Amino acid sequence: MKLISSEEICRTSIFHATMDHAVDPKGFEIQRAIIQHQGSAVMMPVDAKGRILLVRQYRLPARAYLWELPAGRVDPGETVLRAAKRELREETGFQARKWSKLVSFWASPGYVAEKMTIYAAEDLTAGEAQPMEDERIETKWFTLDEIEQMIDSGRISDGKTIIAAGLWRRRNSKKRGQKS
């Protein structure tokens, strides 16, 4: 696929949108409005008991309060891991000594150029959260079993959290020599 043109049609503090025009080697043309995004870091804080910290906050596009993993935007010039460390501290107050990447994936590649990277954050030290002015965040510890029950019942509907829970279950099953 060869990009022919990309014209900015909107800019905000978080993303910008472009109208992109491309053509494939056989001459098939495609034109799409695309939301351009720096990418996001997703953190799965895991305590010494194996519990996972979720945040609950109002998400305007969903028109609902959602339980989800803490996450945030990667700032220009910032690595994804640095963003993960910063966002974990800002949203929850925690710092982690052990970080392991679980996966990177495209959030919604049909129209959003946002890659999300999920990290497990372990060996935690508590501190004071420093949320943004427009963030009202509640935090609560859950077991993986509780999170899976919340997913099954529809109480958790956030994609990144569902992906992380499945990967964490699979990773820990492999450590114990079990099939997932």
List pLDDT tens digits, range 136-150: 789 999 999 999 999
Task: Please name every residue paired with 100 in a beta bridge, in sequence order, or none if there are none.
Answer: 120
List pLDDT tens digits, range 29-47: 999 999 999 999 999 999 9
Q: What is the pLDDT of residue 96?
A: 98
SS3 31: strand
User: Which two three-digit tokens encode residue 33?
Assistant: 């409005």
Of 75, 56, 20, the residue nearest 161 (C-alpha):
56
Report the alpha-carbon distance of residue 72 to residue 79 in Å, rounded: 12
List pLDDT tens digits, range 66-89: 999 999 999 999 999 999 999 999
pLDDT category at 178 given cuts 50, 70, 90 is: low
- For the chain, domains (ranges, CATH) are 2-36 (no CATH), 40-175 (3.90.79.10)
DSSP-derived secondary structure for 99-158 = EEEEEEEES-TTTEE-EEEEEEEEEEE-------TT---EEEEE-HHHHHHHHHHTS---
Q: What is the pLDDT of residue 14?
A: 85
Q: What is the pLDDT of residue 158?
A: 97
